[in-house]
């Protein structure tokens, strides 16, 4: 939830806040999302400049309290995209720090979330990564124990038990995000029903690394990859010999990256095949990418409608529907390739590679449909012509931005 919220806030920022838009530190730990933001001219600022302008968003991991104040002082409009779960931990630490409690944080000391939490703890903040590190700390009269929101639930349970046994007067707060705990539990359940596990997500993402660790602890072959290109450097022998492969992903992994990995893995399994199975796979993929399946479906729907209406001369209508849908889908995918880069990368690559051929196919299909409609009379031709114009306008911005405020047809 926190990751999705932060990404939505930064993507909506140009419509709501003063430009230029930037983020203080990487918004989330996912290189593909950060690259997308750069393409939208939303850049990362890692240090506070002497003079700031425009709007800056606080990263989902949060920052020490002084950072936000300093950003405002130098001239930025500050929008806080800190995950609400992280804000809850910050509040717990701040409240108890004001009562002279020591704050013990279970987490990675260099992780930005932990750095931000330490800012709320003041001089009485300590970071631990194991039970031995907890034992090495001084014994405090008053202390709280919290966890980085993406911490390993098993490790936290060990620390909580140790605190109960040796430091019963310490207060322990389970601040691990609910979705983090559920995801880690799901990986364990997944491992029991598959032969290998793939964890998709940024190599610098704390919660993704935790999932990979848990997957490895199950004893099943586990692979932590960032994108589908990582398959090229992996030893795929044990992976491809698996009958069932489980795929999971970190909280900051976008859907388009998961889809790319799934498609690449699907293709890998067929590349080792020979004969008709391999040929059948590539024919199926081509029919999907060129929308032939969709066009045939449109023809079948048109045939059903003509039968229900008792139209005996159905063939021209069926052919027109197939040609129209084929033409419009291809042309709109050609003009909407920017969004396909993320939503359907296989299709975007296919259309880029075969752009000329697909353009010709779309024009021929659209023209043939109009010719058939012309032979059926002026009404049929005019209707199809208007539909074609409307179909071609699908990816066009019909209203000036001053009327829409950039909210529509992006």
Instruction: For residue range 52-80, list pLDDT tens digits in order.
Output: 888 998 888 888 988 888 998 888 888 88
- Per-residue DSSP letters for 294-316? HHHHHHHHHHHHHHHTT-S--HH
Selected residue with higher pLDDT from 409 and 90: 90
Over the chain, what is the mean pLDDT? 85
- Nearest C-alpha neighbor of 196 from the set 148, 292, 278, 265: 265
Residue-level length of the chain: 410
Asked if the bond preceding 371 is cis, omega within 30° of 0, the reply is no
Please give the backbone phi and psi of residue 246, each rounded to the nearest 5 degrees, phi first.
-95, 140
**Residue 248 backbone phi and psi in degrees, to 5:** -135, 175
Q: Where are the alpha helices (DSSP H) in 192-314?
A: 206-217, 237-240, 255-271, 276-289, 292-308
Confidence of residue 408 (pLDDT cuts 50, 70, 90): very low
3-state helix, strand, coil in the chain (%, to 5): 60, 10, 30
In this structure, what token pair is assigned to residue 20?
A: 């230029």
Share of residues in the chain with pLDDT > 70 (%):
91
Residue 406 has pLDDT above 50, yes or no: no
SS3 158: helix
Write down all domains in the chain, each with its CATH number in brackets. Answer: 2-82 (3.40.50.11270), 86-176 (3.40.1010.20), 181-272 (3.40.1010.20), 284-392 (no CATH)
Residue range 247-271: average pLDDT? 80
* Residue 212: burial class (beta carbons within 10 Å; 0-12, 13-18, 19+): buried
Q: Are 381 and 296 in contact (CB under 8 A)?
A: no
Is the pLDDT reported for residue 398 higher than 70?
Answer: no
- Residue 77's φ and ψ, nearest 5 degrees, are -85, 120
Catalytic residue among 8, 41, 72, 113: 113
Residue that wins the pLDDT comparison between 323 and 237? 323
410 an active-site residue? no
State yes or no: pLDDT of 353 exceeds 80: yes
User: pLDDT tens digits for 15-49?
Assistant: 788 888 899 888 877 787 788 788 788 888 888 88
Residues 375, 376, 379: CA angle, nearest 5 degrees: 115
Residue 318 has pLDDT above 50, yes or no: yes
Range 90-125 burial, b when 16+ CB lie within 10 A, else e: bebbbebbeeebbbbbbbbeebbbbbbbbbbbbebb
Helix count and strand count (H, E) for the chain: 19, 11
Average of per-residue pLDDT across 301-316: 92
| 338 backbone dihedrals φ, ψ, rounded to 5° | -60, -45
Average the pLDDT over 290-306 and give the result. Answer: 92
Chain segment 263-280, per-residue pLDDT in tens? 888 777 666 666 677 777
CA distance 36 to 45: 16
* The pair of three-digit structure tokens given for residue 246, joined into one six-digit string: 């489980």
CA–CA gap between residue 158 and residue 59 (Å, rounded): 30
Distance in angstroms (rounded) separating the CA atoms of residues 330 and 362: 6
Q: How confident is the model over 314-322, as a mean pLDDT? A: 93
The confidence band for 183, taking pLDDT boundaries of 50, 70 and 90, is confident
| Average pLDDT of span 337-348 | 65
Q: For the ranges 168-177, 273-282, 349-358, which has the lowest average pLDDT?
A: 273-282
């Amino acid at each position: 939830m926190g990751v999705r919220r932060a990404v939505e806030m930064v993507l909506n920022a140009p419509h709501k806040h003063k430009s230029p838009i930037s983020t203080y530190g990487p918004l989330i730990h996912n290189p593909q999302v950060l690259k997308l933001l750069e393409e939208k001219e939303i850049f990362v600022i890692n240090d506070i400049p002497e003079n700031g302008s425009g709007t800056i968003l606080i990263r989902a991991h949060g920052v020490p309290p002084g950072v936000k104040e300093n950003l405002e002082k130098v001239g930025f409009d500050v929008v806080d995209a800190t995950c609400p779960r992280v804000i809850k931990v910050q509040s717990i630490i701040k409240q108890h720090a004001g009562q002279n409690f020591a704050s013990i944080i279970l987490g990675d000391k260099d992780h930005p979330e932990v750095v931000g939490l330490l800012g709320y703890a003041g001089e009485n903040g300590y970071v631990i990564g194991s039970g031995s590190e907890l034992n090495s700390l001084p014994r405090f009269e008053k202390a709280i124990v919290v966890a980085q929101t993406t911490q390993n639930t098993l490790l936290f349970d060990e620390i909580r038990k140790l605190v109960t046994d040796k430091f019963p007067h310490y207060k322990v707060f389970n601040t691990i995000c609910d979705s983090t705990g559920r995801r880690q539990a799901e990986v364990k359940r997944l491992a029991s029903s598959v032969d290998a596990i793939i964890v998709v997500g940024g190599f610098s993402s704390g919660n993704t690394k935790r999932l990979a660790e848990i997957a490895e602890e199950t004893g099943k072959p586990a692979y932590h990859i960032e994108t589908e290109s990582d398959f090229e450097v992996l030893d795929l022998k044990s992976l491809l010999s698996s009958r069932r492969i489980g795929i999971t992903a970190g909280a900051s992994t976008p859907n388009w990256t998961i889809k790319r990995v799934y498609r690449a893995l699907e293709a890998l399994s067929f590349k080792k095949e020979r004969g008709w199975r391999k040929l059948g796979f590539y024919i199926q993929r081509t029919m999907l990418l060129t929308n032939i399946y969709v066009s045939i479906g449109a023809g079948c729907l048109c045939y059903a409608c003509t039968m229900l209406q008792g139209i005996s001369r159905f063939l021209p209508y069926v052919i027109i529907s197939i040609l129209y849908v084929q033409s419009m889908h291809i042309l709109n995918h050609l003009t909407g390739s920017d969004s396909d880069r993320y939503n359907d990368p296989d299709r975007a690559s296919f259309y880029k590679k075969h752009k000329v051929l697909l353009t010709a196919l779309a024009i021929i299909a659209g023209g043939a449909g109009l010719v058939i409609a012309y032979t059926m009379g002026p009404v049929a031709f005019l209707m199809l012509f208007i539909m074609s114009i409307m179909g071609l306008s699908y990816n066009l911005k019909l209203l000036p931005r001053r009327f829409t405020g950039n909210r529509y047809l992006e």
